[in-house]
Amino acid sequence: MTMADKGTIRVKWVRSGIGFTRRQRQMIRGLGLRRLNKVAERADTPRVRALVAKVPHFVEIVGQKPAPAWAGVAEYKITPPPPPTTQVVTEAPKPQLAEAEKRTIEPGAGLEHEIIVADDASTNGSVE
pLDDT digits 0-9 by tens, 61-115: 998 766 777 777 777 778 888 888 777 667 766 666 555 555 555 555 555 555 5
pLDDT at site 29: 93
Provide the residue ranges of all domains of the chain, joining segments of one domain with +.
3-65
pLDDT at site 56: 92
Residue, of 3 and 108, whose pLDDT is higher: 108
pLDDT at site 2: 44
Fold of the CATH domain 3-65: Ribosomal Protein L30; Chain: A, (3.30.1390)
Distance CA 33, CA 68 (A): 22
Chain segment 16-57, per-residue pLDDT in tens: 988 889 999 999 999 999 999 999 999 999 999 999 999 999
Phi, psi of 65 (to 5 degrees): -65, 130
Model-level pTM greater than 0.85?
no
pLDDT at site 1: 40
